[in-house]
Amino acid sequence: MHDFHWDYEVFLFLATLLTLGAWLLAKFKKHRSKQANKATWLSRTAAVGSFFPILFLVLSVRSFAFEPFRIPSSSMMPTLLTGDFIYVDKTAYGLKMPVFHNTLIETGHPQRGDVFVFRSVEDPAVDVIKRVIGVPGDHIRYDERSKQVWLNGAPLALQGDGFYQGFLDEIPGTGLRQNQATTGAASHVVLLSDVVRRSYPHTDLVVPEGHYFGMGDNRDFSVDSRVFGLIPEQNIVGKAQFVWMHWRPDDFWQGLKRIGHRL
């Protein structure tokens, strides 16, 4: 049983139910509204009910199809930058019930290398984005000294590719080195810092059924499964597909180049 949290989706769901009730009430009571005061009350009820089709459409699309998200931090650099707006496919991992998030129809499961959005393990009202490193049955080990990830007894290959020269406004002067990595079927870049070293509580575990292990591509500046542990499948929102907009007031043209960037 998961804790219930008030968020935008809950209010949208309740508003849809409220307007549905008003719409149905107006339909069934219409033929009985002979008196003036009843007619006035009915017209107000009908006005509330008129919002039902719009809210139902928004709730359906947001819950079952796709949802836009804005990247608020640098934990997925350089794959995703602060200011990216991403398209998240909510059909990739199954159709889920709004608010309660129980899977109605299974359409797939997260694969190693996927970039996915999930509700935070620490605060389910907050959405988080990371890369899938471990799936059910995997043995994950993270060596804090070498900053190496081991998957089922084998190291995930990292090939050094010099210093990162991109956006560093949020984490200045950290000497980030970029490394070419392959996780599952995904080839991507991982950033590691020469000066930052951290200890984590979850560095050696086997992923049980219905859970996943996620990490940020900006490894030393990411709060992920090494910190908060495994991600329950019920928390998963969907698979991030591409950047549909980017907004950085300090670099408009760079933002235009980000549009359409696939993940």
Helix (H, G, I), strand (E, B), or coil: what is residue 160?
strand
Residue 225 lies in a domain: yes
Note if 130 is an active site residue.
yes
Are 125 and 241 part of one and the same domain? yes
Tell me the pLDDT tens digit for each residue of 221-238. Answer: 999 999 999 999 989 999
Annotated catalytic residue, options 63, 74, 75, 222: 75
Q: 45 and 92 share a domain?
A: no
- 201 and 187 in a common domain: yes
The domain boundary residue, chosen from 36, 62, 88? 62
Query: Tokens for 253?
Result: 């043209």
Is residue 149, in this structure, part of any structural domain at all?
Answer: yes
pLDDT of 12: 64
Q: Domain range spanning residue 17?
A: 8-62
Residue 77 CB-density burial (10 A; 0-12 exposed, 13-18 middle, 19+ buried)? buried
Tell me whether residue 74 is one of the annotated catalytic residues.
Answer: no
Looking at 32, 47, 62, the residue that finishes a domain is 62
pLDDT in tens, 10-28: 776 777 778 877 778 777 7
Tens-place pLDDT, residues 159-177 = 998 988 876 656 665 678 9
Q: How many domains does the chain contain in total?
A: 2
For 178-236, write each residue's pLDDT tens digit.
999 999 999 999 999 988 889 999 999 999 999 999 999 999 999 999 999 999 998 99
Burial environment of residue 186 by CB neighbours within 10 A (0 to 12, 13 to 18, 19 or more): middle
**pLDDT band at residue 38, thresholds of 50, 70 and 90?**
low
Number of H helices, E strands in the chain: 5, 16
Closest CA to 235 of 55, 70, 80, 94: 94
pLDDT classification of 73: cutoffs 50, 70, 90:
confident
Tokens 């009908």, residue? 46
Q: What is the three-state SS of 212-244?
A: EEEECCEHHHCCCHHHHCCEEHHHEEEEEEEEE
In this predicted structure, the answer to whether residue 262 has a pLDDT above a threshold of 80 is yes
Task: Using alpha carbons, select from 80, 58, 76 the residue that is nearest to residue 67.
Answer: 58
Burial of 79 (0-12, 13-18, 19+ CB in 10 A): buried
Asked if the structure places residue 263 within a domain, the reply is no
Burial-class residue 114 by CB neighbours within 10 Å (0-12, 13-18, 19+): buried
Residue 172: inside a domain? yes
- Measured at the CA of 244, the angle between CA 124 and CA 256, to 5 degrees, comes to 130
Query: What pLDDT score does 138 carry?
Result: 98
Residues 36 and 72 in one domain: no
Distance CA 65, CA 53 (A): 17
Task: Inform me whether the pLDDT recorded for 93 exceeds 70.
Answer: yes
Decide which of 62, 79, 101 is a domain's last residue: 62
pLDDT top residue among 154 and 71: 154
Position 42 confidence tier, pLDDT thresholds 50, 70, 90: low
State the catalytic residue, choosing from 63, 90, 96, 130: 130
Residues 120 and 224 in one domain: yes
In this structure, the answer to whether residues 42 and 70 fall within a common structural domain is no
Confidence at 97, pLDDT banded by 50, 70, 90:
low
Considering the domain architecture, whether residues 158 and 51 belong to the same structural domain is answered as no
Same structural domain, 54 and 70? no
CA 249 from chain centre, in angstroms, equals 24
Is 88 in contact with 65 (CB distance < 8 Å)?
no
Tell me, yes or no, whether 223 and 167 share the same domain: yes
Q: Does 64 have pLDDT greater than 70?
A: no
Same-domain check for residues 51 and 137: no
